[in-house]
Amino acid sequence: MEHNLYIYNTLSRKKEQFIPLHNNRVGMYVCGPTVYGDGHLGHARPAITFDILFRYLMHLGYKVRYVRNITDVGHLENDADSGEDKIAKKARLEQLEPMEVVQYYVNRYHKAMEALNVLPPSIEPHASGHIMEQIDFVQKIIDAGFAYDSEGSVYFDVEKYNQKHNYGKLSGRNVEDMLETTRDLDGQSEKRRSVDFALWKKASPEHIMRWKAPWSDGFPGWHLECSAMGTKYLGEEFDIHGGGMDLMFPHHECEIAQNQAGLGKDSVKYWMHNNMITIAGQKMGKSLGNFITLDEFFTGNHALLTQPFSPMTVRFFILQAHYRSTVDFSSAALEASEKGLSRLMEGYARLQKITASASTSLETVGLRAKCLDAMNDDLNTPIVISYLFDSLRIVNLIADGKETISSTDLEELKFVFKLFIEELLGLKSDNEANVSNEAYKKAVDLLLNMRLEAKQNKDWATSDKIRNELTALGFEIKDTKDGFEWRI
RNA sequence: GGUACCUUGGCCGAGUGGCUAGGCACCGGUCUGCAAAACCGAUUACGGCGGUUCGAAUCCGCCAGGUACCUCCA
């Protein structure tokens, strides 16, 4: 496989050339959502980031198995209701079955992802469907001597593990520091050390989601599902593990420890982390209560939003920043992205109508190589987009008849635009679906052709009447050199 | 308190030693019956101080401000 893809590996804190473990196949695992609430902008970031990687790896010719989990069990809350499963709590409040809540939010998540043009992963395993695998995994860690049973719960012995291995190598912290600085937490009395973490948690009597295990009726610890499901579907060693930066510690650190303890190996070759979305410089998150759900973006129904924003605008907004940078949300920034995207997509549509000339007057070759270089440099989508805008200017000049292009160069330009806009960045025109009806399109064309006639007769009253009334109905009319363009 | 990261023009956001990123906004112009679009041009930058260097937004030090993780989190 000939390519030059470099990706940033959190483990080494360097960009490394991507070389898969198995020739032409790539295994990729990304932490998916916890389904006890609607997806928000923060959920869109990893989904889109790793969608880009998924698409690009396939473009390079790899056969990719992309696993993105659904977390639907066992996340502990650390407030007054300590020890209660988040999903179980919500279920009781709403008088619903836990799995009903899960299904509801999974459906909504899928709908939002589809709207964002995020390709579905190859496998989307639920934690609740892999309890046996998790119990087996706990047993392996106990057998290896790195976990202990305490009153029905099983904890990972971090200090013992750290004597042989390096707990903290991903997030860059050391166990001694943490022992001194970790705060007191509920349930800590069962643990030998504050840094130890749960592999299996005994369920309290009122806890609804519970399963039988050798140690107690309970539920798996919250880092275990990724170890169990990642290795089940991708093998004990696989290429890429992704997720948000906030999962680096403790989640991914614990996962590394679990795999090393239970399987005797480092399972993941490349760890990748997307950065956070901020709002007024502060992280957008459930716990802070400052998040905006994806549905709220699409409907504009939120105090911070001045208008609705289409899924494609949201996608484009996210792609205009590099995935390892924070990106600061504001309605003004979204509006800027919306206009930029609209200009790009209109230019892309215009490109399809360009006719070739005998020769090319402005250089357009080299675009493909430049864009590929940017992708290869740790998926630098903002740079790809900047090159597309550079070429867009040339497209518009040609469309205006100010420059010319040969048929071979035109074919190349069309190919590259399609490749990057549609296939790799996954952008599509928002309003295409709205005007799918041929008869409807022809009716609008008919009206505008009548306007064209009126214009040729210098009948400005009729011509303006048609334009103004169509505009009032929500159409956008643009005159061109010898015709018109319209959109809704 | 510990650890890590960040500070770029009106706004968003690339860029790691020399070469105009890009988008949005704004201003001037071309085109147009008018408008929109498109195109051309102009303007506005690298938190502060010091150091290294022929040369620093980019490397080093100090200071200021901010954020994240250490607790569920994308």
Topology annotation, domain A6-274: Rossmann fold (3.40.50)
User: A250: cis peptide before it, omega within 30°?
Assistant: yes
A245 C-beta less than 7 Å away from strand B: yes
Separation between the CA of A79 and the C1’ of B70 (whole angstroms):
17
Q: Which residue has the tokens 């696989």?
A: A238
Most confident of A241-250, A277-286, A416-425, A475-484: A416-425
A333 C-beta less than 7 Å away from strand B: yes
Is the four-CA dihedral A10, A11, A14, A19 of positive or negative sign? negative
Side chain identity at residue A195, one-letter code: V
| CA A390 to chain CA mean position, Å | 26
The stretch A78-105 carries a mean pLDDT of: 69
pLDDT at A82 over 50: no
pLDDT at A334 over 80: yes
The pLDDT, as a whole number, for residue A84 is: 60
A477 within 8 A of A486, measured Cβ to Cβ:
yes
pLDDT bracket for residue A80 (50, 70, 90):
very low
Per the structure, the residues numbered 416 to 455 in protein chain A that have their CB within 7 angstroms of any atom of strand B are 455
The pLDDT, as a whole number, for residue A177 is: 74
Instruction: Tell me which of A56 and A78 has the higher pLDDT.
Output: A56
User: A33: cis peptide before it, omega within 30°?
Assistant: no
Chain B: bases < 7 Å from a protein Cβ: 1-4, 11-15, 21-25, 32-40, 66-74
Distances (CA, A) of A377 to A16, A18, A30, A382, A434: 10, 11, 20, 11, 37
A310 within 8 A of A282, measured Cβ to Cβ:
no
Tell me the per-residue pLDDT of A205-260, one tens digit each, with 9 for 90 and over: 877 788 999 999 999 998 999 999 999 999 999 999 999 999 998 999 999 999 99
The pLDDT, as a whole number, for residue A238 is: 96
The pLDDT, as a whole number, for residue A183 is: 47
Closest CA to A53 of A371, A423, A379: A379
Nucleotide nearest to A282 (CA to C1'): B67
A290 within 8 A of A284, measured Cβ to Cβ:
yes
Count of residues for chain A? Answer: 488
Q: Give me the architecture of the A279-424 domain, per CATH.
A: Orthogonal Bundle (1.10)
Order the strands of the A211-212 sheet from edge to edge. A147-150, A153-156, A197-202, A217-220, A211-212
A83 C-beta less than 7 Å away from strand B: no
pTM: 0.92
Which structure tokens are listed for A102?
A: 């899960």
Q: Which residue has the tokens 């003004």?
A: A332
pLDDT bracket for residue A109 (50, 70, 90):
very high
List of residues 6+ apart from A358 with CB closer than 8 A: A404, A406
Tell me the per-residue pLDDT of A34-43, one tens digit each, with 9 for 90 and over: 888 899 999 9
pLDDT at A52 over 70: yes
CA distance A269 to A237: 8
Which structure tokens are listed for A238?
A: 């696989």
pLDDT at A83 over 60: no
DSSP for residue A473: T
Q: Which helix (H) or strand (E) segment is A334 a member of?
A: helix A331-353
Instruction: Tell me which of A336 and A83 has the higher pLDDT.
Output: A336
* Neighbouring-strand partners of residue A272: A242
Nucleotide nearest to A172 (CA to C1'): B3
Q: Residue A441 phi/psi, 5° resolution?
A: -60, -45
Most confident of A177-186, A188-197, A387-396, A477-486: A387-396
Instruction: Tell me which of A482 and A315 has the higher pLDDT.
Output: A315
Domains of chain A, residue spans: 6-274, 279-424, 435-487
pLDDT at A125 over 70: yes
The pLDDT, as a whole number, for residue A31 is: 94
The pLDDT, as a whole number, for residue A189 is: 63
Per the structure, the residues numbered 98 to 157 in protein chain A that have their CB within 7 angstroms of any atom of strand B are none
CA distance A386 to A380: 10
A250 C-beta less than 7 Å away from strand B: yes
The stretch A21-38 carries a mean pLDDT of: 93
Mean per-residue pLDDT of chain A: 88
Pairing of strands A238-244, A476-480: unpaired
pLDDT at A321 over 60: yes
Tell me the per-residue pLDDT of A360-391, one tens digit each, with 9 for 90 and over: 888 777 899 999 999 999 999 999 999 999 99
pLDDT at A286 over 80: no
List of residues 6+ apart from A29 with CB closer than 8 A: A67, A68, A69, A226, A229, A230, A233, A234, A238, A240, A241, A242, A268
The stretch A415-436 carries a mean pLDDT of: 84
DSSP calls for A40-91 = BHHHHHHHHHHHHHHHHHHHTT-EEEEEE-BB-S-PBP-STTTT-BHHHHHH
The pLDDT, as a whole number, for residue A288 is: 78
Side chain identity at residue A92, one-letter code: R
The pLDDT, as a whole number, for residue A175 is: 82
A33 C-beta less than 7 Å away from strand B: yes
**What angle (nearest 5°) sits at the alpha carbon of residue A115, between those of residues A96 and A52?**
115
DSSP for residue A121: P
pLDDT bracket for residue A21 (50, 70, 90):
very high
How much of chain A exceeds pLDDT 90, in percent? 59
